[in-house]
Amino acid sequence: MRYAFVAAIAVVCSARPTVADPVTLAKPEWKAIVCHADAIPSERYAAREFQRLFEAATGRALPIVERAQTPAIYVGPDAVAASGRTKPMRDAGEEDLRISISRDAICIDGGRPRGALYGVYELFEEMVGARFLTVDHTYIPPEAASRPLPIGTREYRPPFAFRWSYYGETGRRPDFAARLRTNTVGADPTYGGRTGYRLVMHNVANLVPPAKYGKEHPDYFALVNGERRMGAEGGGPQLCLTHPDLLDIVTQAVLDEARKDPDARNISIAQMDNNNYCTCPRCAALDAREGSQSGTLLSFVNAVAERIEKVRPDLLISTYAYAYTRKPPRTIRARHNVLIQLCSIECCQFHAIDDRSCALNREFCRDMAAWKPKCDQMLVWHYNTNFAGYMLPFPNLRSIGRSVAYFQRNGGRGVFMQAAGNGFSSEMSDLRNYVMSRCLWKPGRDSWAEAREFCRLHYAEASAPILRYLGSYHDLVGKAGLHPHCFATESAVHVDGTTARMAVARFAEAMALARSDEVRHRVEKASLCAHRAALSAASTRWRLDDGILRPDLAGFAPDLLDRYAELCTRYGATMETEHATTGSHIEGLRSLFAGLRAAVIENATWRVAVIPESNGKVVEMLHKPTGRNVIMPHRAFNRFRYEDWVRDGEGPGARSIMAYEVAEARPDRLTMRLTTPDGTRFERVVALDGDAVRIEGAVTVREARALDLWLHPEYDAATTSSDPNVVGIYVRVPDWVHVNRLWKDAQPTAPQSDAVTNAAPGGAFAMFNHTERFGVEQRFDPDQIGRLGLYWYPSRLQVNLELIPNAVIVGAGQTTRFWYEVRYLSSPPTIRRPLSSTVKSLSERPPP
């Protein structure tokens, strides 16, 4: 059985009414709204919505009746059929709609369950000029009652069967979601329920639970770096998809899931959210033959889908094209009952997805084009927020519409626009939710024009300064040549003192122009992003006075934090990031604004500032001869800078900020210690040794535990260039190699990436900015470090030269240690070996 999505069509029959005798909502002869006794709940609700909107536009309340009256409004296919005006729509999809207008009847019907309801909203939007701006603000133009309605028939078949603007504003209110035609929120039949298409979710570790199978069958799980991984990183382990036992197990698990959700049109078999795919000989051979890890995934999904079809021919099996599976396989095609959800997580959000000037997006377009002939069903998962800062300004209002249109033109039949859906009142969420929903309903709309219209209608007399802010902000990002993606630092979205002061000033102007409390409240809610930008600008530019570090509030109000906290409470802002609440973030900022004691060590070459109470962060590493701080902050202080993490279990980490106690402080050496509740003792030493900054770590456990550490320094790259001749990355194997020399648009091939990862035996890692003529070198003990991790994207101004020690089991009372040193480079490392042979030899080296 084939599954098809309907295409969009719009048909207008007959000419417009003459000016002398127009058909309007104000036509006094309208007697009633007719809704048949057999109408389904959403059609009854559609009649009530027409009644509500009609009264708002005309001041008249029309009764809802079950029998035909003339002239009248007929809502729902049964009412329209009983009127004798037109034949029912044939082969109507569940959201297809039709609006027929004559001089004595308005007929609104369509497919079930949502066609008639969406038809009511379509009439008021397209013919009356209404706009469903927010949950409590429906705009009705002053001339709505007298606006001529076009005589004739219009049909619309939405091109996307799955539409989800992922904001808390719609998630909390399915009635508002229905007005925006977001068809993924809530199963209440009053609002037409939701589409049967389900979002593809990371779930293979749920289909084959490691708690159930891991002990007796570790071979069911992915072989990664020589071991079967069953940890919880990224939600859980991946599977060894070529294992013959898994076909039966997963097929049964899918059937069990389908029984739990009988209305679902698709059930997922999708990778977990990590890169720990299987490298066993069978999986590796299949992936190598297909040129992508999608080879093993799609081969397995196809096999399950073939079995499922015999039992449930109506059910689609869905999976991801995400991260390492985004590139399609060379020869394998998805079965007709397999749905692919293509994900754009690596892409730039400022530029439209098909903007050829954006290097980050070109590869995604190539992959989408390659998937199009390989699958009958494709949904898109697109990213529209900054997971690292929900409240910060985000510059993608000009690109949303063009990207959505591209997805529709290239085979996408539904789009999940992921935004701050687990929060509320995030950065201009009312505006963004409206713009995204409008573009999803009718691909091809100009998102920037939609944003301008929203501002003019919602902020009314106060809209001009807000529009100037939005325009200026997007212009700044464009002129800076930035490519922010969905985990952007402040620098990547151009949040600095200049941007923040401009934003605060524009919203202050808007507040001064507001003439009603209603408009003032709307402006205040929108201004959250300006206050949040100011907090970032202040806490990126700190002051260090008498050993106390505080944000620099120069140019901002002294009560900035209190004002932001007050607005967050008033407007219900709940999440600061994807994982951190607004409350916890503000609490951390209060500690920062109260001041954190810094420990400073220095010699003739370096001045290093450390904050013991915040994971022992190194917040300044100033090279005195040049005056350059090599870890110049490009993000707000409340997040990590340069420190060591425990990836699993108790200890300091990216989300577990812990306080070290200073055990010993010398002018050139600082020793800090902390003990976790489970008795693990961490010691962190920062010392100066001539031209080197030396970091030493020791972890002693009370009871045996696994230790998986991550040494996570972030350096100032001083550029957004994607050119490897500007930002050079170097490893020593045993001679220095410019290891990213062959990278294209800052994107490595798999062998090139492996060449970085596997270069730990050389004992050195470096970066150098050839334009600014500076860099850093890290030296380390290769017996302690198992892998290297490089984080370099043109969307950020930083380079992370990460060191990953071998994961170890430490016995009770035992200690594991590591060290690494940082040196300043005024010239790049000297290259003695050809790059191509080095990359080949490194990528072929077996994992440690």
Q: Which residue has the higher pLDDT, 649 or 842?
A: 649
Q: Smallest Cα–Cα separation from 651: which of 660, 642, 663?
A: 660
So what's the pLDDT on residue 8? Answer: 42
Residues 728 and 224: their CA atoms lie apart, in Å, by 29
| DSSP one-letter code for 831 | B
At 487-526, the pLDDT tens digits run: 988 988 999 999 999 999 999 999 999 999 999 999 999 9
Residue 649 has pLDDT above 90, yes or no: no
pLDDT of 842 reads 52
Q: For residue 113, is the peptide bond before it cis, meaning its omega torsion is within 30 degrees of 0? A: yes
SS3 string of 603-662?
A: CCCEEEEEECCCCCEEEEEEECCCCEECCCCCCCCCCCCEEEEECCCCCCCCCCCCCCEE
SS3 32: strand
Are the beta carbons of 409 and 558 closer than 8 angstroms? no
Q: How confident is the model at residue 662 (pLDDT cuts 50, 70, 90)?
A: very high
Q: Summarize the confidence of residues 364-390 as an average pLDDT.
A: 96
Instruction: Decide if pLDDT at 7 tops 60.
Output: no
Query: Facing residues of 818 across strands?
Result: 697
CA geometry: angle 577, 578, 583, nearest 5 deg: 45
Give the whole-angstrom CA distance, residue 675 versus residue 678: 8
Would you put residue 129 in left (φ > 0), alpha (ψ -120 to 50) or beta?
left
Confidence of residue 638 (pLDDT cuts 50, 70, 90): low
Question: At residue 358, what are phi and psi to the nearest 5 degrees?
Answer: -105, 110
Let me know: does 44 contact 182? Beta carbons within 8 Å: no
On the question of pLDDT at 486 being above 80, the answer is: yes
Beta bridge partners of 101: 106, 152
State the chain's mean pLDDT as an integer: 92
Residue 338 DSSP SS3? strand
Question: Residue 719 has what pLDDT?
Answer: 87
* Amino acid in the structure at residue 635: R
Q: Give the model's pLDDT for residue 122.
A: 98
Q: Could you tell me the two tokens for 680? A: 């693990």
- pLDDT > 90 in the chain, percent: 81
Task: Choose among 300, 308, 298: nearest CA to 339.
Answer: 298
d(Cα 297, Cα 277) in Å, to the nearest integer? 10
Confidence (pLDDT) at 839: 53
- The contacts of residue 492 (CB under 8 Å, 6+ apart) are 482, 483, 484, 485, 634, 720, 795, 796, 797
3-state secondary structure 210-244: HHHHCCCCHHHECEECCEECCCCHHHCCCECCCCC
Please give the residue that has the higher pLDDT: either 637 or 275: 275
Mean pLDDT of 88-95: 86
Residue 777: phi, psi to the nearest 5? Answer: -120, 135
pLDDT of residue 16: 44
Amino acid letter, 727: V
Q: How many residues does the chain have?
A: 848
Q: Is the pLDDT of residue 4 over 90?
A: no
Around 368, how many Cα atoms within 13 Å sit in the side-chain half-sphere? 26
Give residue 20's pLDDT: 52
Q: How many alpha carbons fall within 13 Å on the CB side of residue 372?
A: 14
Q: Identify the CA nearest to 390 among candidates 411, 358, 419.
A: 419
pLDDT of 417 strictly over 90 = yes
At 345, which helix (H) or strand (E)? none
Within the chain, all domains assigned CATH 3.30.379.10 are found at 8-158
The whole-number pLDDT of residue 843 equals 47
Q: List where CATH 2.70.98.10 sits in the chain.
A: 599-843
For tokens 């020690």, what's the residue? 805
Quick one: pLDDT at residue 546? 86
User: pLDDT at residue 9 above 70?
Assistant: no
Q: pLDDT-derived band of residue 542, with 50, 70 and 90 as boundaries?
A: confident
pLDDT digits (tens, 9 = 90+) for 767-783: 999 999 999 999 999 99
Residue 746: pLDDT band (50, 70, 90) is confident
In tens, the pLDDT along 681-721 reads 999 999 999 999 999 999 999 999 999 999 989 999 988 88
Q: Would you state the pLDDT for residue 12?
A: 39
Q: Which CATH class is domain 599-843?
A: mainly beta
The residues, ordered by sequence, that sit 6+ positions from 119 with a Cβ below 8 Å of its Cβ are: 46, 97, 98, 99, 108, 109, 110
Mean pLDDT, range 218-238, rounded to an integer? 91
Q: How confident is the model at residue 728 (pLDDT cuts 50, 70, 90)?
A: very high
User: Among residues of the chain, what percentage have pLDDT more than 70?
Assistant: 95
At 360, is the secondary structure helix, strand, or coil? helix
> What residues are paired with 121 via a beta bridge?
none
What is the homologous superfamily of the domain 8-158 according to CATH? Chitobiase/beta-hexosaminidase domain 2-like (3.30.379.10)
State the pLDDT at residue 835.
Answer: 56
Stretch 460-475: mean pLDDT, rounded?
Answer: 98
d(CA 76, CA 47): 8
What pLDDT score was predicted for residue 750? 80
